[in-house]
């Protein structure tokens, strides 16, 4: 009986030390869990803008066309900026003025490029940037196409013309 008392007494003497060891082990487990990193190589980072596209099933010249919906970054705008004549006029402008580079045709480079630009309070276009690129040959043509657009009707907020930003898809299809 004296022996059991002695063992319990010894554990009581080291109770503080055992408590410290258990706290340290718990902290190591928690810190290890926070520092654990997955080996996912498909991690996507950065700021993204949602772009809505609507498929126009009407056939224009026996071709299926994709009709871009206005994608504005400024949410405080009451009336968004508009291409003179609306969306149909914008499609006609693209169709008439788009010059598919010969090198890109030969290499069969095709696809959709997204171009971001700013429409000033006066309707002028500035700060043209490629958001999603396919190939530098096509990128330069998309920038040229946007740069040569006629002045837009500027966006309005509280009945005042304001600067706004827009993202448009430019489609290059090798027919």
Which residues lie below 8 Å from residue 157, measured CB to CB, with a gap of 6+?
Answer: 76, 77, 78, 79
User: Could you tell me if 76 and 98 are in contact, meaning their C-beta atoms sit under 8 angstroms apart?
Assistant: no
Q: What is the DSSP letter of 83?
A: -
Residue-wise pLDDT tens digits, 141-152? 899 999 999 999
**Mean pLDDT value across the chain:** 76
For residues 59 and 164, is the Cβ–Cβ distance under 8 A?
no
d(CA 11, CA 66): 78
Quote the pLDDT of residue 117.
Answer: 92
- In the chain the domains, ranked by start, together with CATH numbers, are 53-172 (3.30.1150)
Query: Cα–Cα distance between 121 and 81 in angstroms, integer?
Result: 9
Rounded mean pLDDT, 83-101: 89
0.85 cut: is pTM over it?
Answer: no
């Amino acid at each position: 009986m004296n022996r059991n008392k002695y063992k319990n007494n010894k554990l009581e003497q080291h109770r503080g030390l055992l408590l410290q060891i258990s706290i340290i082990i718990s902290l190591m487990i928690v810190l290890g869990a926070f520092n654990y990193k997955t080996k996912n190589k498909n991690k996507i980072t950065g700021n993204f803008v949602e772009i809505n596209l609507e498929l126009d099933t009407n056939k224009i010249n026996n071709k299926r066309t994709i009709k871009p919906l206005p994608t504005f970054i400024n949410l405080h705008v009451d009336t968004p900026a508009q291409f003179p004549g609306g969306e149909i006029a914008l499609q006609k402008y693209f169709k008439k003025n788009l010059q598919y580079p010969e090198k890109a045709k030969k290499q069969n480079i095709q696809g959709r490029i997204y171009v971001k630009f700013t429409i000033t309070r006066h309707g002028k276009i500035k700060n043209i940037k490629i958001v999603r690129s396919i190939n530098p040959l096509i990128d330069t043509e998309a920038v040229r196409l946007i740069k040569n657009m006629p002045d837009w009707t500027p966006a309005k907020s509280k009945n005042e013309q304001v600067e706004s930003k827009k993202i448009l898809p430019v489609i290059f299809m090798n027919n």
